[in-house]
């Protein structure tokens, strides 16, 4: 399956995705409880209220934002602000993959970086994902980050070499990977995502938006309900 530099689509279902809706709901609830317990101490730049409506939708999904999958002709964007080192993001990852399986042909799935200040490797992981995306391997690196999170997350030492190993595992051109990974513009992109999140009122991860409207889901059904309403235009 072909992939653009900043778009990746899934054609297989991994064991982590084959979960019942009941299990997914429990995972999602657990993830959000973890968010409450470990909310990042961040301060939104400026004193204005978060953007809303069409302005929020335009900020949440920029034209050059990373897209895990694109549904041709769709005007519905599901956006996740995430931190690859965040345990709550890792916990909810199977639910989001299930959501992509269920709605991937009708909804655009967008990811935005929101690295937490307490995570040594969060920005590094985001840079690795950006570098992989430029070689058409966004989805591959995205999945590797979450499926191996327990091996590298919450470490006090840089994991650059491990992420470079993931790039080699994906068969990337390593000269290109290194150039993008080390390019200051890549870090600027990551931080620009975070700034957009702060503008939208994001305080922790994972935080979800559908067409610019921030969600407060307590179950998997809350996510599907939001997408169903957006798809029906209600």
The whole-angstrom separation of Cα 97 and Cα 113 is 17
The whole-angstrom separation of Cα 39 and Cα 53 is 25
Tokens of 155: 């470490």
Average pLDDT over residues 40-66: 73
Give the model's pLDDT for residue 140: 98
CA neighbor of 143 nearest in space, from 194, 94, 106, 99? 94
Which phi and psi (to 5°) does residue 68 adopt?
Answer: -70, -35
- Indicate if the pLDDT at residue 102 is higher than 80: yes
Which phi and psi (to 5°) does residue 42 adopt?
Answer: -120, 155
- The pTM of this model reads 0.83
Average pLDDT over residues 145-170: 97
Please check whether residue 207 is in contact with residue 114, taking contact to mean a CB–CB distance below 8 angstroms.
yes
Tell which wins on pLDDT, 51 or 65: 65
- Indicate if the pLDDT at residue 133 is higher than 50: yes
- Indicate if the pLDDT at residue 45 is higher than 70: no
Q: For all residues of the chain together, what is the average pLDDT?
A: 86
Which residue in the block uniquely carries the two structure tokens 């068969």?
A: 171
Tell which wins on pLDDT, 196 or 33: 196
- Indicate if the pLDDT at residue 101 is higher than 50: yes
- Indicate if the pLDDT at residue 176 is higher than 90: yes
Tell me the three state secondary structure of residue 141: helix
Residues with Cβ within 8 Å of residue 18, at least 6 apart in sequence: none
- 103 — pLDDT class (breaks 50, 70, 90): very high
Task: Determine how β-strand 108-113 pairs with β-strand 77-82.
Answer: parallel
Give the angle subtended at the CA of 84 by the CAs of 97 and 75, to the nearest 5°. Answer: 50
Give the model's pLDDT for residue 24: 57
Give the model's pLDDT for residue 53: 84
Average pLDDT over residues 31-56: 55
Give the model's pLDDT for residue 20: 53
Tens-place pLDDT, residues 182-227: 999 999 999 999 999 999 999 999 999 999 999 999 999 999 999 9
């Amino acid at each position: 399956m072909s992939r653009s530099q900043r778009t990746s689509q899934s054609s297989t279902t991994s064991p982590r995705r084959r979960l019942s809706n009941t299990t997914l709901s429990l995972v999602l609830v657990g993830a959000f409880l973890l968010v409450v317990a470990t909310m990042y101490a961040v301060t939104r730049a400026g004193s204005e209220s978060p953007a809303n409506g069409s302005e929020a939708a335009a900020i949440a999904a920029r034209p050059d934002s990373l897209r895990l999958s694109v549904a041709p002709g769709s005007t519905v964007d599901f956006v996740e602000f995430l931190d690859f080192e965040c345990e709550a993001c890792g916990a909810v990852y199977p639910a989001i993959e299930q959501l992509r399986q269920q709605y991937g042909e009708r909804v655009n799935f967008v990811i935005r970086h929101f690295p937490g200040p307490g995570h040594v490797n969060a920005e590094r992981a985001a840079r690795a994902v950006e570098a992989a995306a430029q070689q058409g391997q966004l989805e591959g690196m995205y999945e590797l980050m979450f499926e191996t999170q327990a091996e590298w997350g919450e470490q006090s030492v840089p994991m650059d070499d491990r992420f470079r190993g993931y790039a080699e595992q994906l068969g990337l051109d390593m000269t290109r990977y290194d150039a993008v990974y080390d390019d200051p513009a890549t870090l600027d992109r990551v931080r620009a995502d975070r700034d957009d999140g702060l503008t939208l009122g994001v305080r922790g991860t994972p935080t979800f938006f559908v067409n610019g409207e921030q969600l407060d889901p307590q179950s998997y059904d809350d996510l599907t309900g939001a997408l169903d309403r957006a798809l029906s235009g209600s």
